[in-house]
Amino acid sequence: MTSQAATSPVASDDTLIDRYRDVRARTEALCETLEPEDMVVQSMADVSPAKWHLAHTSWFFETFVLARGDDYRCFDPAYEYLHNSYYNSVGAQFPRARRGLLTRPTVDEIRRYRAHVDASLIRGLERGLLDGAARGVIELGLHHEQQHQELLLMDIKHVLFQNPLYPAYRETPAREPTEAPAFAWIDCPGGIHSIGAEAGDGFAFDNEGPRHRVLLEPHRLANRLVTNAEYREFIRDGGYRTPSLWLADGWALVQTERWSAPLYWVERDGEWFEFTLAGLVPLDPAAPVCHVSFYEADAYASWADARLPTEAEWEVAAAERPPRGRFLDFGRLHPAPASGPGLQQLYGDAWEWTRSAYQPYPGFRAAAGALGEYNGKFMCNQLVLRGGCCATPSGHLRASYRNFFYPHQRWMFSGIRLASDRGDRAA
């Protein structure tokens, strides 16, 4: 957690209660269409069962706010071990890869746990029993819960995809087909810029700071995300069979995993379909390609004679714009085609892989204590993604927001924006 969070002006208790209720209710609303059976299964080690997300987000408030108060009545002492994600400072954790083996507590029991935590926490806020530090942690806990809202959607999508029946998470309204705007380069100037979250300037995770200067060379960014049609062309051109396009580790993975398309693409009788949260649908050529690994994004960029942007390039461009885009509230639960002139889709639709390794900013120091484990210990082997996606809760994103995944992962809503060093190159 961040000194930013701790020192930034925290909302009044009334506002905080409202926000707390709203965020917590939204998590539960995401489970409305799920059966208990859907909420138990863990389809790979990276995925957590939906009921675990419901419990863990409550555990966060219980552990870091309620249990530090004097008179909290613990709901069940066994839950600490079961629902701790990775906080070694708190204690041992039930092994992550085995979360899907826990049938109990049931979904109903976890809902009662949530209600218990909510009642305790709201009572504390109503009675003014929580100091500024605690309120800061509640603020962090709400952002944490929003992250798990997105994870829950990513995870349930992966769970349902294991099933040859391709069940839908939720029906979404049909849309008129549209076309994406033509590809174009947008020129971006070089120079010294500042990126990162400024302490005291609203909530930010600790990994977004300190704000610091970076030196950029002149470059260009694509006007929109790479489309399914463009990516299909990469496939048709033998992209998955051409080692010279790939990083060595990526090419090794293509061969051992026999990758030949993005994660959720399904070929039937020569036609491409895509598994979405609304079930299996024909591939929309104008929509952004999604669920690609860093290796695929990088190989596509090589094929297109371009490269991926750095996170600083992205942030400098994004910081000039309000963080608006097609997020979770848009209701589509899938990336939509771009429209309009200029730099589009910086926010929402699909996370954008950058070529930047997820590393500490100059001067970064993780906070002391358990919440210092939130971000800092993951600053190795991962790459930064920027901009949020169709499953990111609205209001959660900002220009300095750093998401991070391993280069082989692709169950998140990850897409591609091209960049280029020089003016003389075409995609």
Residues in the site for a copy of itself, rule: CB under 8 A?
35-41, 43, 51, 78, 81-82, 86, 88-89, 94, 98, 100-107, 159-160, 162-165, 167, 192, 212-215, 217, 243-244, 246-251, 294-295, 298, 307, 355-357, 359-360, 362-363, 372-373, 377-381, 407, 421-422
CB closer to a copy of itself out of 146 and 356 = 356
Q: Quick one: 215 or 426, whose CB is closer to a copy of itself?
A: 215
Shortest gap between Cβ of 215 and a copy of itself (angstroms)?
A: 4
Minimal distance, residue 198 CB to a copy of itself, in Å: 17
Beta-carbon contacts of residue 117 (< 8 Å; ≥ 6 apart): 58, 61, 62, 66, 75
Q: What is the DSSP letter of 221?
A: E
Residue 20 or residue 185: which is nearer to a copy of itself going by CB? 185
Q: What is the token pair recorded at 324?
A: 């608006």
Q: Least distance from C-beta 277 to a copy of itself, angstroms? A: 14
> What's the longest Cα–Cα distance across the chain?
67
Residue ranges of alpha helices (H) inside 241-293 are 248-257
Give 386's strand partners.
Answer: 352
At its nearest, how many Å lie between a copy of itself and the CB of residue 38? Answer: 4
| Rounded CA separation 404/401 (Å) | 10
Residues 6+ apart with CB under 8 A from 76: 105, 113
Contact 403, 325 (CB under 8 A): no
Nearer CB in complex with a copy of itself: 210/285: 210
Q: Distance between CA atoms of 99 and 44, rounded to whole angstroms?
A: 10
Task: Give 55: exposed, middle or buried? Use CB within 10 Å, 0-12, 13-18, 19+.
Answer: buried
Judged by beta carbon, residue 94 or residue 272, the one nearer a copy of itself is 94
- Identify the bridge partners of residue 353 per DSSP, sorted by sequence position: 385
Comparing CB distances to a copy of itself, the nearer of 13 and 38 is 38
* Closer CB to a copy of itself, 15 or 88, in the complex: 88
State the nearest-atom distance from the C-beta of 182 to a copy of itself, in Å: 26
**Would you say 19 or 408 has its CB closer to a copy of itself?**
408
User: Distance (Å, rounded) from C-alpha 213 to C-alpha 93?
Assistant: 39
Mutual angle of helices 13-29 and 107-126, in 10-degree steps: 170
Length of the chain: 427
Q: Smallest distance from the beta carbon of 369 to a copy of itself, in angstroms? A: 9
Question: Which residues contact residue 94 at a Cβ distance below 8 angstroms, ignoring those fewer than 6 apart?
Answer: 81, 82, 83, 84, 102
Q: At what angle do helices 50-64 and 107-126 cross, to 10 degrees?
A: 30
* Shorter beta-carbon distance to a copy of itself: residue 44 or 119: 44
In the complex, least distance from residue 325 CB atom to a copy of itself, rounded to whole angstroms: 28
Q: How far apart are CB 81 and a copy of itself at their closest, in Å?
A: 7
As measured in angstroms, the least distance from the Cβ of 98 to a copy of itself is 7
Q: Whose Cβ is closer to a copy of itself: residue 192's or residue 426's?
A: 192
* Shortest reach from residue 50's CB to a copy of itself, in Å: 10
> Which candidate, 38, 336, 261, places its Cα nearest to that of 161?
38
The two structure tokens encoding residue 386: 């920027």
Whole-angstrom distance, CA of residue 278 vs CA of residue 71: 45
- The C-alpha atoms of residue 364 and residue 366 are separated, in whole angstroms, by 7
In sequence order, which residues have a C-beta less than 8 Å from that of residue 134 and are 6 or more positions away? 65, 68, 69, 124
